[in-house]
Structure 1
Amino acid sequence: MLEGTRIQSSVPSAMRKYPISELGTHLVQESHQTSILRFLKHIAYEIGPIVNEQRTTISTSHSPLETTNSARSGNTLKQENNVDHHAMDYESTVSEQMATKTSSLFAEVNKCHDTITVLSQGIQSLSNDTTRLGAESFRHQNSIQSAFSDVNQLKLSIKETDNYLAAIAPNQEMMQEQLSSIKQKVEETELSFYDGTLTWKVADISNKMADAQSERQTSIYSPPFYSSPAGYKMRARLYLHGDGQARRTHMSLFFVLMKGEYDPVLKWPFNHKVTFCLFDQSGQNRHVIDSFRPDTKSNSFQRPRSEMNIASGIPKFFPLPMIQQEHNNYVREDTMFIKVIVDFADLPKMILPYMLGLNPGLPSLVQEYMIRQENHKRQQAPTMATVVPPPVTTNSCG
């Protein structure tokens, strides 16, 4: 059955087109059935006069015959024959007219019968379709109700989940902070040094310099390092674009004391010399070296009461134009290396170039042994004009 197709009612009194989807409803409506009844009465009304006329004609056709018979005695035989002939012709004409009208009426009746048969079949088909569609509608209605029920349950489940997530969100944030703290401590532990020295790899210099210039992040911190497993906790702080009066002119490098687990048993204020070294990566060993000794009156070197003390160090550690030059010796592959040495042995200043010229890949114990040996040699020959070179030829600038 095509959607949207329209059909025309065959009842003359209801010559109106209906969508085929409404035909079943139309055929069973009282208005349609009343129209059919009126149509049948109309046919009966049309046939009735014809039948009565034929009956009257047949009845009156006998009167001339009776009159003829009563007057036969007074008329001639020829007149009788003429009357009989006219009567027969009249009856024949009347019979032909009745036959024609009867055939026409039978044709109309057959046509009506065919129409009623088609309509009956259509009604039956529509009734079947209505029953089928009713069953499908009922099934779809049940499916819709089931879907609505599922949706309501899903909404309830989502609401319960949202409430649960809202309840655990604070705990989750707290756990995330704890996890980040633990992760940072693990990373710091993995990268930690426990001999009072730090070799710091500073990567992604170009982006860090851009952040410092735009003041998005003016400084960066190194990983913590320690004087010993139970010693001072320290770190470096680097201002790539300078700090204070050195901003935009020099790279600033500072030393920071951090709050440690063993601070209560350590000696304060902190008074050990700190040396910074920016490594020359060209192989010429023209390292940039500078040192400072702490001011024991400064709060920067008292026992830390917060996470970190105020940084202190060398504001004009290295000129910015030199570090910003392309193909300079101190930044290669967008990376620089800085070494921090805390001198707990009060080594002489002249030994520093030798210390920083040693191969950083040597074990710490080996480096310490070689430094002691070199220091001993220098103490034995204080008037020597030359310095005994370390195993690797080095030059220094400071």
Structure 2
Amino acid sequence: MVGIDAQNKNILDRKFICSDCSLILRDPVQLTACGHRLCHSCSLNQNQTLMACSQCHMQTPSDQILVDRGFKNDMRTLPIICSYCDWAGTLQNYEKHLEQLHQHSIANEAQQTKLSTEEKIASVVVEGVNKNLDILIQNLPLPEENINNTQCVSYDGTLIWKITSFNEKMMDAKSKRQPSIYSPPFYSSPTGYKMRAELYLHEDGNAGRTYMSLCFVLMRGSYDAILKFPFNYKVTFCLYDQTPQQRHIIDSFRPYMESNSFQRSRSEVDIASGILKFVSLGMIQQEGNPYVRDDTMFIKIMVDFGDIPTTLLSYALNLNPGLPMHIQQSMIEEEQNKRLFNKENTL
């Protein structure tokens, strides 16, 4: 049996990924020559006196491969998003969840087999009963609606929040049925701060004007006991212009250190804090405005753990969000160095 698949395997630390099958390590063993790890079953596949590491190609004698029980215990608290549904939890509970999926699939297959027995010829029934269950589950399609609703969990301190059915949500806010909506949670790292945004779509301001208010919310996380508080990192909001002009609306704030909103949370969700007059509704409700297209709005929330200079914010937020985060960070650093170089040469 190879490693463990999960939606978020590509954003976990590479040390948790098998160098052979590229999945999350299952029963990890360590190659003593280089220190890299792979699944126990993957190590058995090679069946050689000297095992070559798939990652660095160093060779380890087969009798010097160590079963790494301590590392396996460390992996128990890894955050996991199921490959087959919207379940999220820790690795220690994931295998139980997968077992329940298997049992459910077996029950469904048995029921379908019973029905098809009455309607189809025996050969088709036998073929359906004998299908490999692992292959069946791996090929289960993820419902597109579930993907849109849950969105991808972010572990790098940024979130692009896709808000669909915007006009319906605006009517709910105007009627006070639902004054605010929440983004999916996102994280600073797999073991970091847990956060989300809260959007008030219809807030009354002065002189009869109305605004959208956008707030940042700290949530109680699994690793708060070892994190630093109060939370003191700059938060930036960006409302995307969905046209090539890219006239995004960008605003930032720094936490007020004395506020209860940025202390270690004792409840599930802290008090929201943010920008009360983020954008005028007059701008959003104009016919053909670039911020709401196909009844959909996109908002980016970026927690600045690297202290990006204010002059670079616009550049950073105009980068293609489809690029991997480490590429975006590299481009920001390159742009900063270029501007510093140009400034020094003009003095």
Q: TM-score per shorter chain, which class? A: 0.5 to 0.7
Q: Distance in 2 between matches of 1:237 and 1:261?
A: 21
Contact 2:86 2:150 (8 Å CA) reproduced: no
Map Cα deviations across residues 70-117 of structure 1 (whole Å, 9 max, x no partner): xxxxxxxxxxxxxxxxxxxxxxxxxxxxxxxxxxxxxxxxxxxxxxxx
Percentage of identical aligned residues: 61
The residue aligned with 1:220 is: 181
1:378 Cα shift?
A: 2.0
1:332 lines up with 2:301 in the alignment? no
Structure 1 residue corresponding to 2:199, chosen from 232, 238, 254: 238
Contact 1:246 1:316 (8 Å CA) reproduced: no
Report the CA distance shift for 1:324/1:360 in structure 2 as closer, same or farther (over 3 A). same
The residue aligned with 1:289 is: 250
Contact 1:225 1:235 (8 Å CA) reproduced: yes
**Larger-Rg structure:** 1
Name the aligned partner's letter for residue 326 of structure 2.
Answer: L
CA RMSD of aligned residues (A): 2.3
Which residues in structure 2 correspond to 1:283-322 (within 5 Å)?
283-322=244-283
SS of residue matched to 1:347: coil
The residue aligned with 2:167 is: 206
1:347 Cα shift?
A: 1.2
1:243 Cα shift?
A: 6.3
Which of the two has greater strand per residue?
2
1:255 lines up with 2:216 in the alignment? yes
Q: Distance in 1 between matches of 2:201 and 2:303?
A: 22
TM-score by length of 1: 0.49
Report the CA distance shift for 1:218/1:245 in structure 2 as closer, same or farther (over 3 A). farther
The residue aligned with 2:328 is: 367
The residue aligned with 2:339 is: 378
Contact 1:234 1:258 (8 Å CA) reproduced: yes
Name the aligned partner's letter for residue 230 of structure 1.
Answer: T
User: Structure 2: any 5+ residue segments left out of the alignment?
Assistant: 1-84, 90-145
Name the aligned partner's letter for residue 361 of structure 1.
Answer: G
Q: How many aligned residue pairs are there?
A: 204
SS of residue matched to 2:195: strand
SS of residue matched to 2:202: coil
Which runs of 4 or more aligned residues in structure 1 lie more than 4 Å from their structure 2 counterparts after TM superposition? 182-190, 243-248
Map Cα deviations across residues 243-302 of structure 1 (whole Å, 9 max, x no partner): 676995111000000000000000000000000000001110100000000001000000
Q: Distance in 2 between matches of 1:268 and 1:247?
A: 39
TM-score by length of 2: 0.55
Report the CA distance shift for 1:184/1:308 in structure 2 as closer, same or farther (over 3 A). farther
User: Structure 1: any 5+ residue segments left out of the alignment?
Assistant: 1-181, 386-398
Name the aligned partner's letter for residue 336 of structure 2.
Answer: N
